[in-house]
Amino acid sequence: MTDLLHTLPNFPTKLYTHLIPSLEKNLITTTDLLTLNPLEIAKRAKLPLLDVRRLATHVLASLQSQLGVVDGREALRKYEDPVNVEDAGLLRSSGLAIAERWSVISTTDPNLDAVLGGGIPTRYITEVTGESGAGKTQFLLTLLLSTQLPKPHGLSRPTVYISTEHSLPTSRLAQILQKHTLSSSLPPVEKPSLNRIFSIQTPDLESQDHILTYQLPVLLQRHHVGLVVIDSIAANYRAERSSTSSSGAALGLRSTQLVKLGHQLRNLAREHDCAIVLSNQVADRFSPQQQQQQRLMGSSPPSSSPASQTSQNQSGMQSLNTALMRPPPPNPNPNQPFHSSPLTTTPTTNNYNSNNNNPSSSTTYPPLTLDHQQNFFTGWTADPSAPFADQNLKTPSLGLVWSNQLACRIALVKHASYSYKPMPVPSSGE
């Protein structure tokens, strides 16, 4: 690629700084980009196929534009868009500058919009996770209508709803549309409509891969779609896993599929300047305090005598309460700060001395424990001092591999709400 700037002096190489070093290392020239198959170049340079194909198409469009071909100039507009050029220096920008540059979709909640920097951003993947009944589908249906609003609340563009579990709930959409707060004051031409929502169903993983690879890009290009909703992303993977083995090879294959899916969705979001919002399911997770409680409860050996078993249970409960209420031990060395790693802060008691109600001195630490990082990528934290701590801990599906593919994760948590209704006071005559 050393001859690229000699052939095209004005070519924007900043957009492909992650590709050019590998191409130069494997002695791939500009002629190779124009004549060889992109798949062969991608295998030779060990680069993503879509990125290599985009570079080759950009080089061809630049040459056609330089020679005066009309189609070349039209194709070049896609690559020389100011939004795409700004992405080259995106890492040098501050968070506030990035938030001011992107287009957002309002969630119709001012507080949530303020937390998200204005709303759901385009060109990124956003996930909405939560347990059943938390309001994930309700949130996604609201976004389908908000995207059709004019700026600054929406994009004035149609939307796509891809369902893996059930069809599009049109009756619920009609109810939301009637009481949509931001569309009530708009003229009829600018109001959201159900006719601008495309619905697609993917009953299995094979059809999902086919739709996302071939049909969805064509739909985004023809109708200038502003939002793609997938509800939910984990349903087909869960069904596929239940029908296959849970061996290491199967889990490795699924991890590869998730990485490929994330790369594919990110490319679609950037190329078509649209937002991709997914819903995800969750599974139960036990906090370290609950795990320690289970270990302490199961540490007493079983006894055949009912009386001795009752006394052991009572002493075990007293010891458990004493251990859980005891503050953490002070740092033996005041000059040495505490570490954030659980290897030094979360001890695991192997033995328990019920005579003096104190844990035994032989304590070990679980190796490679990442419980202290759960709140960073799950949305649920077991820290009781956290502002949104919840005892009913959850973990989003598809694991950490899928979490690394996301730009933002919104966790919807259900909390019980109680209202007090005073009892009627009977009159004196009753």
pLDDT at 262: 93
pLDDT band at 298 (very low <50, low <70, confident <90, very high): low
User: Lowest-confidence range among 223-227, 289-293, 328-332, 383-387?
Assistant: 328-332
User: Lowest-confidence range among 14-23, 351-360, 412-421?
Assistant: 351-360
Which amino acid would we find at residue 115? V
Q: Report d(CA 131, CA 135) in Å as an integer.
A: 9
pLDDT band at 267 (very low <50, low <70, confident <90, very high): very high
Q: In percent, how much of the chain has pLDDT > 70? A: 63
Write the pLDDT tens digit of every residue in 355-407.
444 444 443 445 555 666 666 677 776 555 555 555 578 888 888 889 999 99
pLDDT at 102: 76
DSSP 66-122: HTT-HHHHHHHHHHS-HHHHHGGGGGGS-HHHHHHHS-EE--S-HHHHHHTTSSEET
pLDDT at 217: 93
Structure tokens at 287: 């906090």
pLDDT at 152 over 90: no
Write the pLDDT tens digit of every residue in 154-212.
999 999 999 998 889 999 998 888 887 777 778 888 888 899 999 999 988 899 999 99
Nearest one of 41, 14, 8 to 27, comparing CA atoms: 41
pTM of the full predicted structure? 0.61
pLDDT at 305: 45
- Under 8 Å between Cβ of 52 and 41: yes
Write the pLDDT tens digit of every residue in 41-79.
888 888 888 888 888 888 888 887 777 665 545 555 555
More confident of the two residues 343 and 228: 228
Nearest one of 138, 151, 224 to 182, comparing CA atoms: 151
Q: What is the mean pLDDT of the chain?
A: 75
pLDDT at 76: 56
Which residues in 246-344 belong to E strands, given as ranges?
275-280, 282-284
Nearest one of 410, 402, 409 to 261, comparing CA atoms: 402
SS (H, E, C) 356-417: CCEECCCEECCCCCCHHHHHHHCCCCCCCCCCCCCCCCEEECCHHHHHCCCCEEEEECCCCC
